[in-house]
């Protein structure tokens, strides 16, 4: 069953702007991970935030996690054309499951 | 280079003809998993394996088989493929599934006619 719900489903912005994607989940998680997928290719891990963390940074990425609201957000600052991709959140559940949302399709316009 | 390798990348087959999609990882990960990705449905887990000879069903296991005879390999077997198994398939591995990052293969696009 799908656990993560992402919002928006699609986002189109101008190069240089910031992009924010949101993810909500239903059950308890060990961590929340974000992945990027370029069209039809494999997923690439971006960042992992543990359930006891509230915010994490990696380069131009900023992730927040609110376990009370069961939600996370991914902020990409100063977007570039190369950031055009689909972005997925995934909740780590127990020791066997990584449950993905349906993704946000991000388009960066030059 | 750390990687997960799937083969083939593209496959068109006919209904009922058995096929195997291979998956190999070079990171000595104990955990491996198969997902399928369909428009509007996202990624759904088919099977996973926590170690050699240990496999278990994911959310959509019907019509699939797996085996884990060696740590590095985790093939996906479709004994009698049907058109509803047309999809994009991904193999992934992780040091500790759901706890550490997962590494994904490049995908296998399967069409069953």
Judged by a CB distance cut-off of 8 A, whether residue B85 touches chain A is no
The pLDDT confidence band at residue A1, using thresholds 50, 70 and 90, is: very low
Task: Pick the closest to residue B32 from B15, B56, B49, B17 (CA basis).
Answer: B49
- Angle CA A35–A39–A44, to nearest 5: 25
A85-103, pLDDT tens digit by residue? 999 999 988 767 788 888 9
Whole-angstrom distance, CA of residue A53 vs CA of residue A45: 18
Instruction: Express the helix, strand and coil content of chain A in percent, nearest 5 each.
Output: 5, 60, 40
Given an 8 Å threshold on Cβ–Cβ distance, is B42 in contact with A43?
no
The pLDDT, as a whole number, for residue B30 is 92
Judged by a CB distance cut-off of 8 A, whether residue B107 touches chain A is yes
B78-102, pLDDT tens digit by residue? 999 999 999 999 999 998 877 788 9
A3-15, pLDDT tens digit by residue? 568 889 999 999 9
A37-76, pLDDT tens digit by residue? 998 788 999 999 999 999 999 999 999 999 999 999 999 9
B46-72, pLDDT tens digit by residue? 999 999 999 999 999 999 999 999 999
Which residues of A have a CB under 8 Å from any CB of B?
A: 1-2, 30-31, 33, 35, 40-45, 48, 88, 90, 92-103
Å between B99 CA and nearest CA of chain A: 6
Å between A59 CA and nearest CA of chain B: 17
């Amino acid at each position: 069953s799908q656990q993560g719900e992402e919002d928006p489903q699609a986002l189109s912005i101008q190069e240089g702007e910031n992009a924010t994607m949101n993810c909500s989940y239903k059950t308890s998680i060990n961590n929340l991970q974000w992945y990027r997928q370029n069209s039809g290719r494999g997923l690439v891990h971006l960042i992992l935030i543990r359930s006891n963390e509230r915010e994490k940074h990696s380069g131009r990425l900023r992730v927040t996690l609110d376990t009370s609201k069961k939600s996370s957000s991914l902020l990409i600052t100063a977007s570039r054309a190369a950031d055009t991709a689909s972005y997925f959140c995934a909740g780590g559940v127990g020791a066997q499951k990584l449950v993905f949302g349906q993704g946000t399709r991000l388009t960066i316009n030059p | 280079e750390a990687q997960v390798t799937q083969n083939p990348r593209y496959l068109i087959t006919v209904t009922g003809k058995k096929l195997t999609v291979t998956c190999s990882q070079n990171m000595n990960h104990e955990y491996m998993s198969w997902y399928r990705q369909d428009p509007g449905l996202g990624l759904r887990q088919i099977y996973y394996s926590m170690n050699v000879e240990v496999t278990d069903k994911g959310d959509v296991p019907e019509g699939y088989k797996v085996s884990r005879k060696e740590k590095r390999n985790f093939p996906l077997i479709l004994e009698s493929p049907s058109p509803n198994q047309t999809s994009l398939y991904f193999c992934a591995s992780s040091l500790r599934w759901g706890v550490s990052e997962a590494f994904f293969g490049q995908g296998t696009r399967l069409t069953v006619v």
